[in-house]
Structure 1
Amino acid sequence: MKQLFRTKSIEALVAASNVEGKRLDRTLGAWSLMALGIGAVIGSGIFILTGTAAAGEVRSFHSILHVPILDLIMNGANSSFTIGRPGAGPGVALSFLLTAIACGFAALCYAEMACCIPVAGSAYTYAYATMGEFIAWLIGWNLILEYAVSNMAVAVGFSAYFNDILESIFGWHLPKQLSEPMIVGGQFTGSWFNLPAFLILMLLTWVLTYGIKESARTNNIMVLVKLGAIAIFVIGAGRAVSTHHWHPFLPNGMSGVLTGAAIVFFTYIGFDSVSTAAEECKNPQRDLPIGIIGTLLVCSTLYIAVALVLTGIAPWQSLNSAAPVAEALKNLNMNTIREWVGVGAIVGMLSSLLVFQYGQARVWFAMSRDGLLPRFFSRIHPKHHTPHVSTWIAGFAVGIPSGVWDIGTFADLSNIGTLFAFTVVSAGVLVLRRTQPDRPRSFRVPFGPLFPLLSIASCLILMMALPLETWVRFFFWSAIGIAIYFAFGKKNSTLANS
């Protein structure tokens, strides 16, 4: 029991990151870190969930496993199997603002921990320094799930979008057998393998293996392209905004704004990936807080701008479609802007895939260096100085399932893993302030323990809004991780063996 909750000192974590043969090159500055965050946060969701939150939705559940856990706690056997979410209308801009504030609490906590512990591994490393090895393992194990499942879903979406572009521009498309998942909803589709999803992941894995500087440069270009696409939409479509679409601004009152916030919350997930780059940052004490907080500020501004323009060019009731932005632009005959939105969506997927694959490999690398995973995961390429083994294993671990399954149904697993990590990092701030109050901090979360506590409360409430099925899968995945820890990690931990 002592070993389970034994912490690793920050000095030991930093020293391990400087061991020859296990050291990563420090090449990233504040802008590159911010670009990593923007690349992870802003994907195609900005053009989809904005409309869903504005128009609202009705969700029917065919099993008690699909009912939100909060509804089960409050209503028990009388829980409703149909939940209507009132639309936020033009007030979806306020939904994005409220969500940014809620995420801001967690972002501030990440910023303080990142400047205190400038080591790869993100929430896993922070937990190791504050709550002990066992909690760190659970966090790392669930971070692997978060990044992997997110990218499986995005890769499948990229494949569908890529095939659609091939047909609309060149008039041909890949055969169904090579462009769709083999299994959807537990049923065989007749497809052999989703080749585009697999190949794009292999291409990005090669880029990540080649070097962090080259990977960051590639991501910077993609971020500039999708920011340009968003700017073209906001400025170009902004000329067609009719203010009468904004009246009433809150058609369903604050309840619509709050349910809209619950829908768009998960568009913000990804800013934590900035902290996985701590070990490759030139000046982590200064640049990491800038990268994390800057990501949230830029993304919030863009989300709010898109929300205001979208609800200004179309009635909010008409936005509940699979592609609300594209539909609105089509109705206005703004086909050029629509094409740029398509470019922004597909580049957004690519940058999200790149950043999450990067983050996943760094978590595996950090866990291996601590002895909790086999040592070969922490091997460094002699020429490119990247964790090439963990990067390629992560690539195949995501690429092969992406070719076989439609992973969209497992998206909530990514959400619960992320919220669990947010909760632990926020609690870690409180623990570190109590155990090491005099440790130098280039950034501190303001208002003492209030903001970390608000972050914990926000995350727990959002976790309760996830369905029972997600919790069952979360505990099942955690149980597998615990078994691996006691079979391998506990015996091979460098902390225990030292």
Structure 2
Amino acid sequence: MGLLNRVFKKESIANYMQSDEHLTKTLSAKDLLGLGVGAVIGTGIFILPGTVAATTAGPAVVISFIIAALISGLVAMAYSEMASALPVAGSAYSYGNIIFGEIIGWILGWALILEYFLAVAAVATSWSAYFANLVAPIFKMPKAISGPFNPAGGTYINLIAVVVLLVLGILLYGGMKESKRLQNGMVLLKIAIILLSIGVGIFYIKSGNYHPFVPARSNGAFGIHGILTGASMVFFAFLGFDALSSSAAEVKNPKRNIPIGIFGTLIIAAILYALVAFVLTGMVNYKQLNVADPVAFALQMVGKNGVAFVVTIGALVGMFTMMYTMLYASSRLVYAIGRDGLLPGHLGKLNKKGEPSRALLIATIVVMIFGGLVPLDRLVALVNIGTLLAFIVVSLGIIPLRKRKDLNHTGYKMPFYPVLPLISAGFSFFLMTQLQVDTLVAAAVWFAIGIVIYLAYGVKHSKLNKQ
């Protein structure tokens, strides 16, 4: 078999189902909602509505969130169909292997490894900063252990980020059945804090702050174009829902529960983001909201310092649940790639509880290194390109999926086929073109490294190659 035919060889769904049958099926629709809301609603809900309103869309940022949610809904339809038809671990990586061939799956897996690892590490550094500010009146963290490795700047390790990631790894190592109760509880607490801030803030809305609702175009911002630009900015707030499809092999009745989890997550997130944006821009003039913590700032402006403090707690809880879901998803992705032999085989092994503890250990160690030692400021944008690439391939993948006669495809199906899959892919591609050039260059370097690893190691050790 020639190399070209070899790398485009497609994996069998039956092989994946057999490999994943030992994973413990413990997740219900409620648990998926907990994971999804935990991933999508992080600290961004306390920041994005204010900063995007101040710099781009004005009070019409509410419309920006609604547009972004609708576009996300298109992609969510594609993911729901894929996960329903192919209930296996590995998300877009496994879908790529089955639908397009191993090299496409590897490229997607390589992209998602970067997305998940960087996302978890970046949020861990933000969590560290919030926590340090919260405890500053009582205890000030020594500078040497409060930042990435930078001896010239006096910092050697971000110890708080390392510790919180270690705690997350230990929770997940204890098993999904045990740790999901804590995750679901923290998600409910986070939603309660968000509703508290909305419920208090609504009494301090001044209708004059909504005028003009769509500020006149100026300095390259605002106007109708500003609403659309704002939609592309806040779209990235909804990206975490794709992590749900990584759990497909551990879901009870995936054909029913995964679509519920994905669509439920987007609906809840869209409503909460839009409500926060509406109340926030009603409390304070949008021009004042370009600050690090706009929700807390607005509450302080109306004299509600106690609620502002609770919002800070909510931000910490929100980031914690987001890291939990993304670290969980990254461990399942590493397991899936190891299962196929494209990474060292022991990563594809399960423990006695039927969970990929070795993949979790490696994922936790890597993100602890990133979060504790590596400056992530310029790398965070790479999170978006990996996700958008997966969105494009999964959306386009619906077309060949429908033509496969070897798949038992009786679950959810994306409506208006094939128009909506093409529109979904088109929107995702457009958003990818809006990323900065240096981000695209860095991504190209990352993918080049991935291709080298695949050709030097993956092709030789691939289990598909040995069939």
Task: Return the TM-score normalized by structure 2.
Answer: 0.96
For the Cα contact (< 8 Å) 2:118–2:370, is it kept in 1? no
State the match for 2:104 in structure 1.
Answer: 135
Corresponding residue for residue 201 of structure 2:
237
Secondary structure in 2 matching 1:488:
helix
**Match of 1:407, SS?**
coil
User: Separation in 1 of the partners of 2:111 and 2:410?
Assistant: 28
Whether the 8 Å CA contact 1:182–1:188 is kept in 2: the answer is no
Give the residue type in structure 1 aligned to 2:154: G
2:142 pairs with 1:175: yes
Deviation at 1:189, TM superposition (A): 1.8
Instruction: Say which SS state the counterpart of residue 147 (structure 2) adopts.
Output: coil
Residue type matched to 2:403 in 1?
Answer: R
**8 Å Cα contact 2:37-2:269 kept in structure 1:** yes
**Is 1:12 aligned to 2:15, yes or no?**
yes
Q: Secondary structure at the match of 2:136?
A: helix
Partner of 2:45: 46
Whether the aligned pair in 2 keeps the contact of 1:370 and 1:493 (CA below 8 Å) is: yes
Corresponding residue number in structure 2 for 1:377: 347
> Contact between 1:145 and 1:414, CA under 8 Å: does it hold in 2?
yes
| Residue 289 of structure 2 is aligned to residue 325 of structure 1 | no
**Residues 211, 385 of structure 1: 8 Å contact kept:** no
State how far apart, in whole Å, the 1-side matches of 2:377 and 2:388 are: 18
User: Are residues 1:477 and 2:441 paired?
Assistant: no
* Deviation at residue 329 of structure 1 after TM alignment: 1.0
Percent identical: 41
Structure 2 partner of 1:122: 91
In the alignment, the residues of structure 2 paired with residue 140 and residue 440 of structure 1 have an alpha-carbon distance, to the nearest angstrom, of: 24
SS for the counterpart of 1:6 is: coil
C-alpha displacement of 1:438: 7.5
8 Å CA contact 2:340–2:348 kept in 1: the answer is no
Give, in angstroms, the shift of residue 26 of structure 1: 0.3
Aligned to 2:180: 216
Deviation at 1:256, TM superposition (A): 1.6
Moved more, 321-330 or 32-41: 321-330
Deviations 1:149-189 (A, max 9, x none): 11111111111111111114xx2121111122223xxx842
Q: Which range is displaced more, 384-393 or 136-145?
A: 384-393
The corresponding residue for 1:457 is 426
Task: Render the CA deviation track for 1:307-337: whole Å, top value 9, x for unaligned.
Answer: 0000010001111111111111111111121
Between the aligned partners of 2:324 and 2:377, the Cα distance in structure 1 is 18
Call closer, same or farther: CA 1:26–1:438 in 2, change over 3 Å.
Answer: closer
Matching residue of 1:92: 61
Paired letter, 1:460: F
For residue 189 of structure 2, the aligned residue among 197, 221, 225 is 225
Matched, 1:287 2:257: yes
Q: Deviation digits for residues 94-137 of structure 1, max 9, x if unmatched? A: 00000011111110000000000001100001111100000000
Matched with 2:285 is 315
Amino acid at match of 1:178: I
Instruction: Spell out the pairing of 1:36-435 with structure 2 (5 A cutoff).
Output: 36-56=35-55, 87-168=56-137, 171-183=138-150, 188-251=152-215, 252-382=222-352, 384-435=353-404
Q: Is the 8 Å Cα contact of residues 226 and 348 (structure 1) preserved in structure 2?
A: yes
**Is residue 53–residue 261 contact of structure 1 (8 Å, CA) maintained in 2?**
no
Q: Deviations over 1:435-481 (max 9, x none)?
A: 33974231010111111111111111111001111111111111111
Deviations, residues 288-309 of structure 1 (Å, cap 9, x unaligned): 0100111111100100000000
Q: Once the 2 structures are TM-superposed, how far is the Cα of residue 17 of structure 1 from its aligned partner?
A: 1.4
**Structure 1, 30-39 or 401-410: larger mean CA deviation:** 401-410
Cα distance between partner residues in 2 of 1:112 and 1:346? 33
Per-residue deviation at 1:282? 0.9
Q: Does 1:3 align with 2:11?
A: no
TM-score by length of 1: 0.90
**2: distance between equivalents of 1:98 and 1:431?**
28
Shift of 1:487: 1.3
Give the secondary-structure state (helix, strand or coil) at the position aligned to 1:381.
Answer: coil
The answer to whether the Cα contact below 8 Å between 1:90 and 1:249 also exists between their aligned partners in 2 is yes
Distance (Å, rounded) in 2 between the aligned partners of 1:411 and 1:266: 12
Inter-partner Cα distance in structure 2 for 1:351 and 1:470: 27
Determine the C-alpha separation between the residues in 2 that align with 1:283 and 1:440: 14
Counterparts of 1:192 and 1:40 in 2: how far apart (Å)? 29
- Between the aligned partners of 1:444 and 1:272, the Cα distance in structure 2 is 17
Residue aligned with 1:239, SS? helix
Superposed CA offset, 1:232-289 (max 9, x none): 0111111111111111111133112111112211111100011111011011011001
Q: Which AA in structure 2 matches 1:248?
A: P
Check whether the contact 1:329–1:338 (CA below 8 A) recurs between aligned residues.
yes
* Structure 2 unaligned residues grouped into runs of 5+: 216-221
Q: CA separation of 1:188/1:225 partners in 2, compared to 1, >3 Å: closer, same or farther?
A: farther
Over aligned residue pairs, what C-alpha RMSD do you find?
A: 1.3
State the partner residue of 1:81. none
- Structure 1 position 9, deviation (Å): 2.1
3-state SS of 2:239 partner? coil
| Cα distance between partner residues in 2 of 1:146 and 1:321 | 26
Distance 2:377 2:304 in 1: 30
State the alpha-carbon separation in 1 of the partners of residues 376 and 74 from structure 2. Answer: 30
Structure 1, gaps ≥5 residues long: 57-86
2:6 aligns to what SS in structure 1?
coil
Contact 1:181 1:189 (C-alpha < 8 Å) held by counterparts: no
Question: In structure 2, what is the Cα distance between the partners aligned to 1:283 and 1:260?
Answer: 37
Map of 1:66 onto structure 2: none
